[in-house]
Amino acid sequence: MTDDPAKTPQADSALVQVRGVRTVLGGKTIFDGLDLDIPRGKVTAIMGPSGTGKTTLLRHITGQLMPDAGTIRVAGHDVPALSRNALFDLREKIGYLFQNSALLTDFSVFENVAFPLRQHLKLPEPIVRNIVLTKLQAVGLRGAAELMPSELSGGMSRRVALARAIVRDPMLILYDEPFVGLDPIALNQVLKLIRTLNDTLGITSILVAHEFAAVARAADLVHLIAGGKRVASGTPAELEHADSAWTKQFFGGEADGPVPFQYPARDYATDLGFPAVQPAGAA
């Protein structure tokens, strides 16, 4: 386990490098000097308490939201400094699996997966068909090509969304809470796909999730972020047995710790209208 991304073996081969990122949204500091690396060809999980900015980090990587300070480099490109056209070009190399799958309800499974091809490329219909069926085959749903989203289970919807995310062979795929709402069978299917697709396609994956048992089966590296910073990094096995207060609370599920149970508030007695208690010996 290490606390300095610049000294990790992954730093030299990182596809994504985040340095000194500071982000303030609605007066709340989300990141305050965030540093981390995403190594090429690996599955990296981003974990942390609710509200620590995990999805915000994905938005920074895709350039949907710019930080107030710091640098974010993706494949050597300084994302905040990119022109509009260059940013769009970068986004076309990134696949995104949304938490709710975000399928187009009026399109069939086939047309949902074909949508990015039709929007961005002018390909002959036979090639579109072959690409789409190949991606559906990869997620085990070629036979569901003509179904509508309303006919799919939650796990099937997630797998269709994954086929759409990889339809243009991205260099990087972002998974935003892919396990939410899935039964154990569907969760295991999605887990298997994340690991298999990453290895067979040679892509880089960033996985935002809360379920450590699932993450431990898919991720090569885990970054734990809290309080605006990266507080721990390592393999799932390293973090599971780490002895820092952050890892003990988060992975042990403790109610109180560095993330307090009580939200900061004024003095309790004062809020209830009781007179202030003078310290002993006070004049």
Q: Which residues are CB-neighbours of 21 under 8 A, at least 6 positions away?
A: 31, 33, 34, 35, 60, 67, 69, 70, 71, 72
How far is residue 107's CA from residue 110's CA, in Å, rounded to a whole number? 8
Percent of the chain with pLDDT over 70: 85
Per-residue pLDDT reduced to its tens digit, 241-255? 767 666 666 666 555
* pLDDT bracket for residue 9 (50, 70, 90): very low
- Where along the chain do its domains lie? 5-256
Q: pTM higher than 0.75, yes or no?
A: yes
Q: What is the pLDDT of residue 6?
A: 44
% of the chain residues with pLDDT over 90:
50
Q: Check: CB of residue 44 under 8 Å from CB of residue 221.
A: yes
Tell me which of 2-6, 53-57, 264-268 is least confident. 2-6
> What is the per-residue pLDDT across 67-88, written as a single tens digit (0 to 9) for each?
999 999 999 999 999 999 999 9
> pLDDT category, 131, cuts 50, 70, 90?
very high
Does the domain formed by 5-256 have CATH 3.40.190.10?
Answer: no
Tens of pLDDT along 189-232? 888 888 988 888 889 999 998 888 888 888 999 999 988 999 88
Question: DSSP characters for 37-58?
Answer: EEETTSEEEEE-STTSSHHHHH
Radius of gyration for the chain, computed over Cα atoms and rounded to the nearest angstrom: 22
Q: For residue 56, what pLDDT is reported?
A: 93
C-alpha 98 chain-centroid distance: 9
